[in-house]
Chain A
């Protein structure tokens, strides 16, 4: 019986090919796709991520601040902060314009916080997709 062959890892293309695309994709949800003329997918990603983020804000979700302590606290707060930060300009504008809410008890606020992190994680997926298109791994 033959062993299953591992798929060959493709080399990472130079930074100048994908760097600006990924940077724009981080800053503006869907921006990496628009830059590469993938307008349909860019519009859907952009609308979905912005809607998720806005719903999170309207549910009075709170933003994470990086806090260390025991392992679980570090994972939750640093991970949550990175998730928030991944939303790019949406996160930066929320902080700069003072729309960040304090953390309060209640299931709606709690869902809001999760929506805000989910928007960032969706943007990470959009950034990876934009990278793959820029690197020529996807059409």
Chain B
């Protein structure tokens, strides 16, 4: 079985994307709303990733 090796950043972005797709599909009623909600979720995930990354960097000095 091949092995996939990703950096922290790639793995978190990939997971954010996949979760956003599912949240978008199950949460809204029209396709346009689903797309918009999925994109918004992905944006929030990315913001959280950058926010927490900077917090950890500043916390470690």
Contact = CB atoms under 8 A, between A and B. Distances in A.
B36 to A, nearest CB: 16
A135 interface: no
A122 B6 contact: no
Interface size range of chain B in the complex:
10 to 19
Most buried by A among B4, B14, B15, B29: B4
Q: Give chain B's interface secondary structure class.
A: helix
A115 B26 contact: no
Interface string A101-114: 00000011001001
B5 A108 contact: yes
A41 B3 CA distance: 30
Contacts of B15: 52, 111, 114-115, 118
A99 B26 contact: no
B3 A58 contact: yes
Contacts of B11: 59, 107-108, 111, 115
Contacts of B5: 59, 108
A55 B14 CA distance: 10
A3 B6 CA distance: 52
23 contacts: A41-B25, A45-B22, A45-B26, A48-B21, A48-B22, A48-B25, A52-B15, A52-B18, A55-B4, A55-B14, A57-B1, A58-B4, A60-B3, A107-B8, A115-B11, A115-B15, A118-B19, A122-B18, A122-B19, A122-B22, A126-B22, A126-B26, A129-B25
Report, nearest first, the 7 A-B pairs whose CB atoms are least far apart: A58-B4, A129-B26, A111-B11, A122-B22, A48-B21, A125-B26, A52-B18
